[in-house]
Amino acid sequence: MQPDIDDFLTYEIKKELADRYFGFRKLIEDDKMILEEKIRDFSMVVEKRICFDLIRIYILLRDEELIHEFVGLAGCEKKIYYDSYLTQSPTIRDRVFQGVKARGITRAGRYKNLLFDCYERLVAGVEEYRTQLEKLREFHETIGAEIELFYRKNDIGCIMDFLRSLEPRAGDLHVRPESGYHEAMERKMRVAEPQPVEQFLPDIPPLTPLPLIRRQLGKLVNRAYKKQKNNPLASIIK
C-alpha cells in the first residue's frame, strides 16, 4: 500500500510544479504580447508626431546641403527617416501638408513660420517619444526579470520528469518517443526573452530647442526659400 501512496504523492508534487510552470509562463507570454502591441501602437504615433514633421522640414529645405546643415543644428546624429525621394514626390508633399496652415503676412514669413512650427512640434514630439520609449524599455526589463524569476522558481528538468511519467510505457503500449523528442520538448518549454525595443523603434536623441537655434535656422530657411520661390512648393504657402 505504501508504494501506491508514495507514487500518488510524487505525482501530485510533480503536477503542482507543472501547473505552476504553465500558469507562470502564461503570465509572461501575456506580458510579451502586451509589449508587442504597445510597440505596434507606438510605431503609429512615431509616424504621426515625428516622421511627418521631419518630412515636412525636409521638403521645405529640399536641398541636400541645407538638410545636412539642419540635421547638425537640430543635434541629430543622422538624417532620420530621410530619403531624397521624399523631397521630390508631389504625392507625399500633398499628403504631409494636407490641412497644415502657414501663418504670417508675407510669403517669406509664412514659409519661415511653417518650418519653425514644424520644428517646434518635432522637438515636443521627440521629447514625448523618448519618454514613452523609456517606459517600453522598462517594461521590457520587467519581463526579463520575470523570466529570470521564472527559471529560479521552476525546475525544467523536474517538470520534464513529470511529463515523461505521463507517457505510455513501452511495456504497456509498445510506444516509444522518437529520438530527440524530449530535447525538443525541453527547448519549447524554455521562455524566450522579447526582442529589444530598439529592434523596432529607433533611438532618437533629444533635439536642440528652437530658441537656441532660431537665428541660425532662420538663415537656413531664408536660403531655402530663395531657392524655391519658383518651385511648386510655393503653393503650400500661397
pLDDT confidence of 1, banded at 50, 70, 90? very low
**For residue 142, pLDDT beyond 70:** yes
Residue-wise pLDDT for 116-140, tens only, equals 999 999 999 999 999 999 999 999 9
Domain extent listing, the chain: 10-237
53 by Cβ neighbours in 10 Å (0-12 / 13-18 / 19+) ranks as buried
Would you give the DSSP letter of residue 144?
H
Q: Which three cell numbers stand for residue 28?
A: 509572461
Express the helix, strand and coil content of the chain in percent, nearest 5 each.
75, 0, 25
Residue-wise pLDDT for 16-39, tens only, equals 666 677 777 888 889 999 999 999
Rounded to the nearest integer, the mean pLDDT of the chain is 79
Alpha carbon distance 234, 176 (integer Å): 77
Alpha carbon distance 229, 129 (integer Å): 34
Alpha carbon distance 40, 73 (integer Å): 30
Alpha carbon distance 172, 178 (integer Å): 17
**Contacts of 32 by beta carbon, 8 Å cutoff, 6+ apart:** 143, 194
Alpha carbon distance 151, 128 (integer Å): 35
Q: Is the pTM of this model over 0.85?
A: no
Residue-wise pLDDT for 204-229, tens only, equals 889 999 999 999 999 999 998 887 75
**For residue 170, pLDDT beyond 50:** no
Closest to 207 (Cα-Cα) out of 53, 99, 91, 60 = 53
Would you give the DSSP letter of residue 237?
G
Would you give the DSSP letter of residue 167?
S
